[in-house]
Amino acid sequence: MASTAAALKSKGYRISGSDANVYPPMSTFLAQAGIRVHEGFDPAHLDERPDCIVIGNALSRGNPEVEHVLAEKWRYCSLPELLKECFIREKRSIVVAGTHGKTTTTSMITWILECAGLHPSFLIGGLPGNFQHGARLTDSDWIVLEGDEYDTAFFDKRSKFVHYLPEIAVINNLEFDHADIFENLQAVQKTFSHLIRLVPSNGLLLANGTEANLAPLLDVDFCPVQRFGLSGDQDFLVTSNHTDKGTLHFTVNGDAYQLPMIGEHNLENAVAAIACAHQCGISPAIIQEAIRTFKGVKRRLEIIGTPEGITVIDDFAHHPTAIKKIVQTLKQAYPQGRLWVLFEPRSNTTRRSVFQEELMDAFSEADVSLFGEVARAELLKPEDRLNLPDIVNSIQSQGKEAKVIADPDDMAAAVAAKARSGDVVAILSNGGFGGVHEKVLVALSNASA
């Protein structure tokens, strides 16, 4: 939403908005873009009577601004609707979907197209390092979109990505997630099948051929299908890879690449982007240079400081699979020091007990696991709520340190009291985590003062 607002502002539209909470990096980004943001919701924010009100999917009936718009019969739409009608319909659309890695893969594809001189429009659900903003509108024939399976709005329960008119659909993985709107894995598979059905006969479906949950969806005859992956019989196959000094070195179909990132999950993101770029007619040499110069995305294994020799990393991971991959990646990349993982159970899935067992396993390789309190716990029945004490007990039974620390200041103090040079502190949250990122940096800097 913020990235689209900035892109519209750059085109001369007058933009303002409201949200319950606005925190960095998006609050900083919006301020720099000159966009006025109201914290909290009040019909008075709409006194200028905008020409169109875009209602985000986090809002529901009962919101005072939503109720005012409905009562006044003002023009409103969802963000995906706005994108489709204003920006996508006349372009060649690349839609990147999957439970994990969407933001990084979308950013990578966009950067490759940029390096090829195609100057694409794009919408990315994060802040890519190679661009100033997460969205841009251009006169290019191409538009690259991060395709989210979450529902569109309270008045449109379809997944956002069904609005995006895909010419090329890229799907990297598929797991159960968003337990607040999907009942089970089969429901998630069904909504991804809706995206697949929208790929035209002159388009292309690109999918990870090693993903078991995707396999049943790929047997289609209405559009071409190509597969990529790290093993097996794939159209785009990684045949060798190793990591050296924070850089992935790998080969795809005989072409060698260097990606300045770590982690097998980023290798999967890269082969997806490479496969897509080939379908866009981009030469291997340009793809190689784009991969080599890719700068990643904010809040994706982002090193935010190294006070007193302690590496502090910010990551958006909140699904158990993503958490486990981050933990494994960091243990491999930093084998000498201890790994601290600070986790905020904030997403609509990780607040719930649905991933109780999986979360016990996700932190098993961390040396120290510190948990913030379950966000908005009072809105869940006790039997539906994530049981943090049980997770802590399970981790402790494996001989590892684990604790629930509700207050961010206390959590930062706990890290500063015991962390030492060479350790890594990974802060995992899809939100602000009570400002614990900055608090940890300050506490570590002050510890030796």
How far separated are the first and last CA of the chain, in Å rounded? 41
pLDDT of the residue at 342? 98
Position 449 confidence tier, pLDDT thresholds 50, 70, 90: low
Query: Do residue 16 and residue 143 come from a single domain?
Result: no
Q: Which of 25, 54, 74 is the last residue of a domain?
A: 74
Q: How far is CA 280 from CA 71, 259, 446, in A?
A: 47, 20, 51
Q: Which of 273, 292, 311 is the last residue of a domain?
A: 292
- Domain of 162: which CATH number? 3.40.1190.10
Instruction: Please say whether the beta carbons of 327 and 157 come within 8 A.
Output: no
Tell me the residue type at 20: A
pLDDT of the residue at 25? 75
Whether the predicted pLDDT of 314 surpasses 70: yes
Whether the predicted pLDDT of 167 surpasses 90: yes
Q: Is residue 140 part of a domain?
A: yes
Whether the predicted pLDDT of 6 surpasses 90: no
Residues in contact with 72: Cβ distance below 8 Å, sequence separation at least 6, in sequence order:
none
Instruction: Please say whether the beta carbons of 284 and 315 come within 8 A.
Output: no
Query: Do residue 330 and residue 238 come from a single domain?
Result: no
Mean pLDDT computed over 416-432: 94
Query: Do residue 149 and residue 241 come from a single domain?
Result: yes
Tens digit of pLDDT for each residue in 248-289? 999 999 999 999 999 999 999 999 999 999 999 999 999 999
Position 27 confidence tier, pLDDT thresholds 50, 70, 90: confident
Q: Is residue 281 part of a domain?
A: yes
Q: Pick the more confident residue, 24 or 154.
A: 154
Tens digit of pLDDT for each residue in 112-148? 999 999 999 999 988 899 998 888 889 999 999 999 9
pTM: 0.88
Mean pLDDT computed over 228-235: 96
Q: Is residue 417 part of a domain?
A: yes
Q: Label residue 171 exposed, middle or buried (CB < 10 Å: 0-12, 13-18, 19+).
A: buried
Q: Is residue 51 part of a domain?
A: yes
Q: Is residue 55 part of a domain?
A: yes
Mean pLDDT computed over 300-328: 93
Domain span at residue 23 reads 2-74
Measured in whole angstroms, how far is the alpha carbon of residue 214 from the centre of its chain?
19
Q: Is residue 297 part of a domain?
A: no
Q: Is residue 258 part of a domain?
A: yes
- For the record, the structure tokens of 275 come out as 């496969």
Query: Do residue 308 and residue 276 come from a single domain?
Result: no
Mean pLDDT computed over 328-357: 92
- Number of structural domains in the chain: 3
Average pLDDT value for the chain: 94
Whether the predicted pLDDT of 435 surpasses 70: yes
- For the record, the structure tokens of 118 come out as 């195609």
Query: Do residue 176 and residue 278 come from a single domain?
Result: yes
Tens digit of pLDDT for each residue in 204-224? 999 999 999 999 999 999 999
Query: Do residue 52 and residue 102 come from a single domain?
Result: no
pLDDT of the residue at 248? 96
Query: Do residue 163 and residue 224 come from a single domain?
Result: yes
- Domain of 60: which CATH number? 3.40.50.720
Q: Is residue 119 part of a domain?
A: yes
Least confident of 14-28, 259-273, 340-354, 420-434: 14-28
pLDDT of the residue at 180? 85
Query: Do residue 70 and residue 87 come from a single domain?
Result: no
Query: Do residue 172 and residue 47 come from a single domain?
Result: no
Give the pairing type, strands 236-244 and 247-252.
Answer: antiparallel
| CA quadruple 128, 25, 102, 111: dihedral, nearest 10 | -10
% of the chain surpassing 90 pLDDT: 82
Q: Which of 74, 92, 124 is the last residue of a domain?
A: 74
Query: Do residue 67 and residue 110 come from a single domain?
Result: no
- Domain of 314: which CATH number? 3.90.190.20
Mean pLDDT computed over 165-169: 98
Query: Do residue 262 and residue 308 come from a single domain?
Result: no
Query: Do residue 324 and residue 287 come from a single domain?
Result: no
